Amino acid sequence: MTDTPWMAPGTRSGVLLIDSPTARPQEAAAARDRLDAALGAVVDPEGPGWYRPLARLGRWWYLVCALVCAALLLLTPLPWWAALLVGLAFGPMVGGFSGAALAGIARTVSVTDEVRGAARAARTAEHPFVRTVLDGTAEMVRDIVERAPDRAAEAHARGWDVAVMHPDDPVDEPAAAALVDLWEATGGVLPEGLGRTT
């Protein structure tokens, strides 16, 4: 594994972050911790209160859904044994769909505007010291450091230039081109069809 201590996922948020090449290590570490905490707070991992008992059920949720389906099918003109079999057969499918839907709703509900605003403010405040790195950028930087350890500082600087404040922000095209140039100079090869048009 390539040693890039200045580029790693946050421990709380899991978001890939890169430290500024010009920041002092203590400064960058403190900014990383603050930004990671703000980004990690965006989604409450336990979800809202109404979802917690359902989450604790775990796989038992499928059995609950199967029994509910069987009980509802008992109200149909099917014989009781057929209703039970059909309910137990389709219950897990209903459990899978309903579980995924409820988890999605819980995730959406657990993100408040206040928390979103705090994360946005943290991104802005910590931008001079730490930024978000997109996966493709991180792979290129690690490839460069792995193939040419003597160019790690240059890879760090290029990765920093390409890093963004928010994952939806546009990437600086000249900075991205400079990173690709460095990557190619150290042996990186773009897949066919992804070559440059200039």
Distance CA 95, CA 65 (A): 5
Residues 105-109: contacts with CB under 8 Å, at least 24 apart: 105/51, 106/47, 106/48, 106/50, 106/51, 106/55, 107/43, 107/47, 109/47, 109/48
Q: What is the pLDDT of residues 45-88, one digit of tens each?
A: 666 777 778 788 888 888 888 888 888 888 888 888 888 888 87
- Can you give the pLDDT at residue 65? 84
Q: What is the pLDDT of residues 7-47, one digit of tens each?
A: 989 888 888 899 999 989 999 999 898 888 887 776 556 66
**For residue 24, how many other CB atoms are within 10 A of its CB?**
11
Kindly tell me if the per-residue pLDDT of 194 is higher than 60. no
Alpha helix ranges (H) inside the chain: 25-40, 52-57, 60-73, 80-110, 113-126, 135-147, 152-162, 173-185
155: confidence class by pLDDT, cuts 50, 70, 90: very high
Distance CA 39, CA 53 (A): 25
pTM, two decimal places: 0.59
Distance CA 1, CA 144 (A): 13
Kindly tell me if the per-residue pLDDT of 134 is higher than 90. no
Average pLDDT over residues 99-106: 83
- Can you give the pLDDT at residue 191? 63
Average pLDDT over residues 125-139: 84
Structure tokens at 6: 């200045």
Percent of the chain with pLDDT over 70: 85
Distance CA 33, CA 165 (A): 16
144: confidence class by pLDDT, cuts 50, 70, 90: very high
Domain parsing of the chain, residue ranges: 8-43+113-185, 52-110
- By C-alpha distance, which of 171, 169, 149, 146 is closest to 160? 171
Average pLDDT over residues 108-112: 69
Percent of the chain with pLDDT over 90: 19
